[in-house]
Structure 1
Amino acid sequence: MPDLAKRTGPPVLRVDGLRKTYGDAVVLDDLHLSAAEHSCTALIGASGSGKSTLLRCIDLLEVVDDGVVELDGEDITDPRVDANAVRSRIGIVFQSYNLFPHLRVLDNITLALRKVHGVGADEAEQRGLEMLERVGLRDRYRARPDELSGGQQQRVAIARALVNRPRLMLFDEVTSALDPELVGEVLSLVRELREDGMTMLLATHEMGFARDVADTVCYLDGGRVLESGPPEQVLADPVEARTRQFLRRIIDAGRL
């Protein structure tokens, strides 16, 4: 695991005053957050607290109403920015796998490389196979998604996000659609990425996992980061009453 003492210098990601609305509904409200290089930040909070919307705004899948998102010091929310170029530096994995059912696993992984980022077919295939090796599915490169288990499909989705060698990885509740017996294999892969030093933000309901892998836990409530700090502080001795209330519900449900 990377040395925490080496996490100095400007953050890889900085979110400053982010605001996002849908009609009259305010989903993100003056949200502030930063992520140092090689760090893992876990986003926790109830459904509707803004976790998924935050990740989608960072990946420029949503247009922000106000505020700034910086990646390595560059304002990527500037409307003049090339969104595809930004997304080539950010990988995102959703709850659903979003694999094309008619394409082989390898083609799913390399499609964006070839069609969006202009990587040649041979190089794209080589990189795709390397990523499949990385996620333990090299032997399934010719399979169709419906020939794979849910955990395998999610690992393919992670490989697809990694194949462009992103600067930042975003995970949006990547285990929520999985059967309980498949959750472990996906979390093990995310843990390996963490140990390799990948800078990550992950929205999760897996509190034990957040406690084990995160450097920082951010509790979102009402579209804001209400409390943030080391896992042992936020999850074991939170300052805010709303954080304590949320964690009490999690404990009562047997998820912490």
Structure 2
Amino acid sequence: MNVLSVTGLVKEYGGKRVLDGVDLEVAEGEVVALIGASGSGKSTLLRCVNLLEDIDDGQVFLLGRDVSDPRVDPDLARRDMGVVFQAYNLFPHMTVLDNITLAPRVVHGVPPAEATATAMDLLTRVGLADRATAYPDRLSGGQQQRVALARALAYDPKLLLLDEITSALDPELVGEVLALVREIAAAGRTILMATHEMGFARQVADRICFLDGGRVVESGPAAQVLGNPEQPRTREFLRRVIDAGRLQDPRPDRGGRV
């Protein structure tokens, strides 16, 4: 069963097509990674799926329901989606615990005691139970992003959207967040994520979609797309990513070469 189906999705800004007829499906329990250069449409696609952007054409089906229909209440549709952005977007005037319990209590009507118990269980899973009463400005970037992930999972969404969630982190904090996403994926959560971490995408994703110019240029199993891509544009993008990584991290590889 497909949790998400996107057909012919078009999004324009100022007459420029940012998404140009995107087709995409995500099956239940599947992890799909969106890769591509900056400006290729990855974040816009996630925002359209989450109904944070109006679409100009096409449809978005969530659990078989056309949530892009103008008659659909987007707030109701979002109840089945959890989203974590590049910025942590935690409420600075609320404690960690209050940030996590807010949506379950106010939007989903979960009793406070139940919402608190769920939040504490999630904080334990992300290794931050001892920071429940802390405010966001007392946490590191990696800790804040882990809280954001816990908040997104608090109402057990059917689809988890992750938008370059490590891009704002210092390099030494990236690992702890990726390890948590790896754990979430292993538990069978349905995930659509935009990422620039190719190694992570290879390890976690069932399928890779390469976007270029607002279109899905290539889609397939992670090992195939990242290891032996069929399209020349995909090969060119991956070569540039690999070359850029070598320039940024010129450490010897396992064979002793630089």
Report the TM-score, using the length of structure 2 for normalisation.
0.93
Alignment of 1:4-83 (within 5 A): 10-83=1-74
Letter in 1 for 2:85: F
Letter in 2 for 1:137: L
Does residue 198 (structure 1) correspond to residue 189 (structure 2)? The answer is yes
Partner-residue secondary structure (3-state), 1:107: helix
Partner of 2:225: 234
Q: Could you tell me how far apart the structure 2 residues matched to 1:25 and 1:126 are?
A: 47
Task: Decide whether the 8 Å contact of 1:30 with 1:224 is kept in 2.
Answer: yes
1:120 CA drift (Å): 2.5
Partner-residue secondary structure (3-state), 1:131: helix
Partner of 1:120: 111
Partner of 2:252: none
Alignment of 1:66-145 (within 5 A): 66-145=57-136
Does residue 218 (structure 1) correspond to residue 225 (structure 2)? The answer is no
Letter in 2 for 1:225: V
Which runs of 5 or more structure 2 residues have no equivalent in the other structure?
250-258
Does residue 175 (structure 1) correspond to residue 175 (structure 2)? The answer is no
1:79 CA drift (Å): 1.2
Partner-residue secondary structure (3-state), 1:41: strand
Partner of 1:3: none
Q: Aligned-residue CA RMSD in angstroms?
A: 1.2
Task: Give aligned pairs, total.
Answer: 247
Letter in 2 for 1:186: V
Q: Could you tell me how far apart the structure 1 residues matched to 2:185 and 2:222 are?
A: 15
**TM-superposition CA deviations, 1:151-198 (whole Å, max 9, x none):** 000000001100010000010000000111100000000000110000
Report the TM-score, using the length of structure 1 for normalisation.
0.94
Task: Decide whether the 8 Å contact of 1:84 with 1:116 is kept in 2.
Answer: no
Q: Could you tell me how far apart the structure 2 residues matched to 1:78 and 1:133 are?
A: 39
Task: Decide whether the 8 Å contact of 1:69 with 1:77 is kept in 2.
Answer: yes
Letter in 1 for 2:181: V
Q: Which runs of 4+ in 1 moved over 4 A?
A: none
Which runs of 5 or more structure 1 residues have no equivalent in the other structure?
1-9
Letter in 1 for 2:119: G
